Structure 1
Amino acid sequence: MMKLTTIFLALCLFQNTFCLDYDGWLNIKMEHSLNCNFEKYCTRGTITLKSIRAGTAVIDQINFNKKHIDELKELAELDEFYTLRTLVSTAETKDVEIFTFIKAKSFLENGLSDIIRAWVLPNGEVIALSLQAANSSQSKSMEYKNAENKLNSSFYIRHVDQAPLPDTASYIQKLEREREAREKGELKDNRSFLAKYWMYIVPIAIFVMISGAANPEPAGQAR
């Protein structure tokens, strides 16, 4: 039976207003490859937000049993990764697949405690997820038998600012105005003589220098 864990979602704040422009629901289905029988991935749980701005997320996930732990230990002995497959859905998008992973040994040593972060654009689009072991003050010895073991997960949102877009339309309009002004003779060229005609002066100067080097003046005859 799944157990509910309610946590508060950390939102980016700026001058007492939310950095996110978008407000709507967010659902993240979590799957992993432990104790899945013949399937490649099977359910680990879900993270649900009815409203991003409300700031409350609900994590609903399974507890690990002995078979989960044994398979996780096998990965740890091989220094392999524990992989999380997520399907992210919002009011605008549906089941966007994102993979994230963590060292199996680190996950075990930290008592099945992990931190999941979602990187979100101002429009509410989730562009990345990260999985990290929670750095517990004391690592636990993972000698499990038949008892079920609770996953201890925390979830946070990280705001990603979009880079400013170039004002291409204004730049094209400026070039068009300059072109029209040149055609009408309204745009004066205030450049110096050298700036205007350097492409003609430089070749002539080089030619003179080469000619002088190729034809040196003969030495004066002694009297």
Structure 2
Amino acid sequence: MQHDLTADPAAAPPAGGAVRRRHPSVFEPATLALIILLCVFGAIIGMQILVSLGVSANTSLIGALAAMVLARIPLGLFARYRSIHVQNLAQSAISGATFGAANSLLLPIGIPYALGRPDLVLPMFAGVALAMLLDAYLLYRMFDTKVFPATGAWPPGVAAAEAIKAGDEGGRKAVLLGVGVAIGAIGSFFKIPMSAFGIAFIGNIWALAMFGIGLLLRGYSPQLFGGEA
């Protein structure tokens, strides 16, 4: 269900009598407030997981689910969060903040420490911060081109889009979404890598097959080739 957004009254209505709706802006106060909170939360999650586990997490679904939950609050202030476009902005923002804080900012400044040059931490931080902004601009400009086709194999994006669609359409899909969240939470509680199960269902079959073959070869390389794993 999309939030009603006022179209330009001077513009002629499209054929068929449909009203063209303006895409929500990230700078609208309610949307901006949600995105700022999600970005701070996502950055904290990304850095905490990176320093504790050495990996970065994909938090896009957290942003989408947060917007969906707020949209269910029966107050006019939260009505705009019903828009699937606002939910998409939310999941994109928290995901970008998570990867940006962890991979683009925190990880590189650890390199000077590893090399015994802590005096280079601040210069490194300044450089990677500028590089992150440049990368964000380039990705924005190059998406849906031959370099980064929108129809490419983007499993995390597909997962987030399907979750947003399920929450918007309701019914059986929404129930399945809730069941999936519950199963994922239970599995994570018991230290089961539930994300691997999700990727197995939405990933590209050829990419996953090659990944599986690589893992098998790496695991059995001592027996097959007489080397070290």
Asked if Structure 1 and Structure 2 have the same fold, meaning a TM-score greater than 0.5 normalized by the shorter chain, the answer is no
Q: Larger Cα Rg: Structure 1 or Structure 2?
A: 1
Which structure: greater strand fraction? 1
TM (normalized to structure 2)? 0.23
